[in-house]
């Protein structure tokens, strides 16, 4: 069984003033507030959400 890589993401900018779809992506990734960090699996679904709100995030591979 191969080990799935994880990506550490941190919400750098506030969700106030963003569109609802972008807020939903942040919630789907498990981000709650500014400077909150989570580790997510490197899956196509998560990469798509990260790419959509990349202007709000800091991503570490």
Prediction pTM value: 0.90
Residue 24, SS3 per DSSP: helix
How far is Cα 41 from Cα 32, in angstroms, rounded to an integer? 18
Domain 6-60's class? Answer: alpha beta
The reported pLDDT for the residue numbered 3 is 72
- Domain segments of the chain as ranges: 6-60
Question: Model confidence over 2-37: pLDDT tens digits?
Answer: 578 999 999 999 999 999 999 999 999 999 999 999
The DSSP code for 17 is T
How far is Cα 7 from Cα 56, in angstroms, rounded to an integer? 15
């Amino acid at each position: 069984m191969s080990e799935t890589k994880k990506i550490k993401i941190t919400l750098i900018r506030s969700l106030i003033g963003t569109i609802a779809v972008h807020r939903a992506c942040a919630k789907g990734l498990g981000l709650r507030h500014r400077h909150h960090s989570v580790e997510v699996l490197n899956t196509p679904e998560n990469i798509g959400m990260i790419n959509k709100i990349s202007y709000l995030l800091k991503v570490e591979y």
